[in-house]
A and B are shown apart, each in its own frame.
Chain A
């Protein structure tokens, strides 16, 4: 008996040591983490599960592809997460085979039930679900998801807004917000009856799923992460080496993808920062061993939570910054073509696409936990309800029957300037640093070359 106890102690001890050894060295992987739920007697060994979130990631990717077809019924099927849906994206391609072909092979879930419920001021004050459904309805009425009459690129609008209204909203407001409160989803109880994971464990895992990074993301560089999303680097994606990419745990989606796109520029480290914070917070929960978190543990977990929220918000703000810059450049190009009486078709299409991304990300940014107040009001007003059109008109609102209201547009010069002001707003309010498509960087560089005179000299 004594002997057994000794061996058990030694085992526990060595386990503990090797575990902490693993924790302290090299890049970490999200999970597996042991079952900590007290009184669990099933045969599960890993408490991590975020299948519903990854199912939603592919629902979103698929829905984005569907917008172009204008098939409202199909869009709604993916939006509502109906049974028997094929994965439209990401799909296997040469040199990048994926494991699943049906959404149900990953998990179950829908987008419609997880939408941000509040009003969307940038889209006529419709609620979150109303906004997305309105966009899909309108997309079904035009060719290829694009309406030249209003300048709305629904592929971009729907995709980016859904990223904010579902993924960002669910993660930061619900799972890392409401469910991290004391008394909500306690750690000494299963997440729901019959579950093998605790309330806090599962809430945290779900948030990680919405972030959209593969579990082994930290073992990869920003560039490699980026190439996983682009389906260009099988070796980087296939962490377990089985020759196929598991869409549940080995793929990079949505927000994490945008983070990688900024990080590969070398100025930021959003992806790894957020991934690490997810792991740090999850380990605090693991180490609590199935009891409620004490004050110190909670503080540590919430610190990780705040890191996630802050950086996630910045990633979205970086996108607003980037696409405001692209839109600015597109307007300059359009002006040149118009002056020369050239054909504006392609340039206008490009402009509408970038504006759509700008608008979508701006709406997404407003689905976070804090009311952005004046910054949101300014941002919405400056980019407009719709883009300024070539005939100097612009969508300014939406009627109760869902039709758009058009009016005389802002002046082109003013609208162009607004793009710069949006960039400045993102710097001032959110401290974005990757600053893709920075329209003011040339001035900044020049100013720093010249330096300032601050030594009180008298010529």
Chain B
């Protein structure tokens, strides 16, 4: 019973906590931005714009429905799993201890720095590091076959809604959670070590100000059918909704592009940037999925495990064959 109420609270929190992506105010702002986009940029009437935004075909599609279900299931799984995961504080403490053993570092080296500067530095460092680590992990998710098996669950969505953010395999969720703990630990421990107790986070409604701004500027639209594009030069710096929609595109020329979360600079720096295209020209999802339209939950949760198992078996077999052929070569060599 207690677990059940805890679960309901956790679900509710997703919508009333400003730290969460789908906080109602962020959703509301996204709707206003979408309205503005359709009316001003696409010259639609208000009525048409509203109809376009609240498109039943999208929100009641098979794909979206499985997003909703996955959301409810994952919240439960994460509620059980997350207490078992290493916390940012444990990692931060270990790092903080470690810094003591580095000769050229001393605790409180820069403790006389003006607090406001410390706070601004910490807040931007944390945001940048967090965003960069998201980029790196995301890239690996696409590169590494085992991780791709997991990440594919997200890409199997054939329509995008703000809830697609939760369309994530729980194992991938665990990886993301560890990534977040690690980056927080790095920034917390290094800043406290160097700057002392004046370190703090610049926040709005308790949220890192940059994260808040990212959400205010319509972060929910990246997973939606509203293809807002930025000016070309802006898309080098910030990922536009249409750029992330392109990341979900089925077309092979769009594969492995735009891994970034908030900042596009990482994609630009590492050669994976692709400017946005018209949303209407995109087909979303992954090939297999596109063909048989399966959004079956069992497949989404279990298939990654089967794929990973098969992948490992295949690799082992290859390895064995290789060892075998080396052996044969050796024998031939000896006989000669």
* A interface list, Cβ under 8 A from B: 332, 335, 413-414, 416-417, 420-421, 424, 440, 442-444, 446-447, 449-459
Contact = CB atoms under 8 A, between A and B. Distances in A.
B177 A443 contact: no
A447 B176 contact: no
Contact of B180 (A421, A452, A458): A452
Contact of B92 (A335, A447, A449): A447
A428 to B, nearest CB: 11
B168 A457 contact: yes
What 3 pairs across the A-B complex have the smallest Cβ distances? A456-B173, A454-B82, A459-B261
A335 B106 contact: yes
Majority secondary structure, B binding face: helix
A332 B107 contact: yes
Most chain B CB neighbours (cut-off 10 Å) among A335, A420, A453: A453
Interface string B92-130: 110011001101001110000000000000000010000
A459 B221 CA distance: 11
A332 B96 CA distance: 15
Given A413-B101, A447-B184, 8 more contacts: A442-B199, A449-B206, A452-B87, A453-B180, A454-B78, A454-B82, A454-B177, A455-B166
B6 to A, nearest CB: 13
Contact of B168 (A421, A442, A456): A456
Interface in B158-198: 164-168, 170, 172-174, 176-177, 180-181, 184, 188-189, 192, 196-197
B203 interface: yes
B188 A446 contact: yes
11 contacts: A413-B100, A413-B103, A417-B97, A420-B96, A424-B93, A442-B199, A447-B188, A449-B200, A452-B181, A455-B78, A456-B77
A392 to B, nearest CB: 15
Contacts of A457: 21, 165-166, 168, 173, 176
B82 A442 contact: no
Nearest to B126: A450
A97 to B, nearest CB: 43
A459 B199 contact: no
B74 interface: yes
B198 to A, nearest CB: 9
B89 interface: yes
A446 to B, nearest CB: 5
A53 to B, nearest CB: 41
A443 B122 CA distance: 13
Interface in B60-84: 74-75, 77-78, 82
B25 interface: no
A420 B100 contact: yes
A417 B165 contact: no
Contacts of A443: 89, 92-93, 96, 188-189, 192
B97 to A, nearest CB: 6
A450 B97 contact: no
Contact of B176 (A332, A424, A453): A453
Contacts, number: 108
B286 to A, nearest CB: 14
B289 interface: no
Nearest to A457: B165
A459 B165 contact: yes
B154 interface: yes
B88 interface: yes
A451 B19 contact: yes
Nearest to A440: B93
B254 to A, nearest CB: 17
Contact of B108 (A332, A414, A421, A453): A332
A424 B165 CA distance: 38
A455 B74 contact: yes
A421 B151 CA distance: 40
Contact of A440 (B82, B96, B177): B96
Nearest to B73: A456
B142 interface: no
B14 interface: yes
A245 to B, nearest CB: 40
A370 to B, nearest CB: 26
Nearest to B155: A458
Interface string B119-151: 000000010000000100010000000000001
B201 interface: yes
Contacts of A440: 93, 96
B88 A455 contact: no
B20 interface: yes
Contacts of A420: 96-97, 100
B184 A450 contact: yes
A453 B172 CA distance: 13
Contacts of A451: 19
A454 B85 CA distance: 10
B207 to A, nearest CB: 9
Contacts of A421: 97
A456 B89 contact: no
A456 B78 contact: yes
Contacts of A416: 100, 107
A444 B106 CA distance: 20
A456 B172 contact: yes
A459 B134 contact: yes
A451 to B, nearest CB: 6
A416 B103 CA distance: 13
A106 B192 CA distance: 52
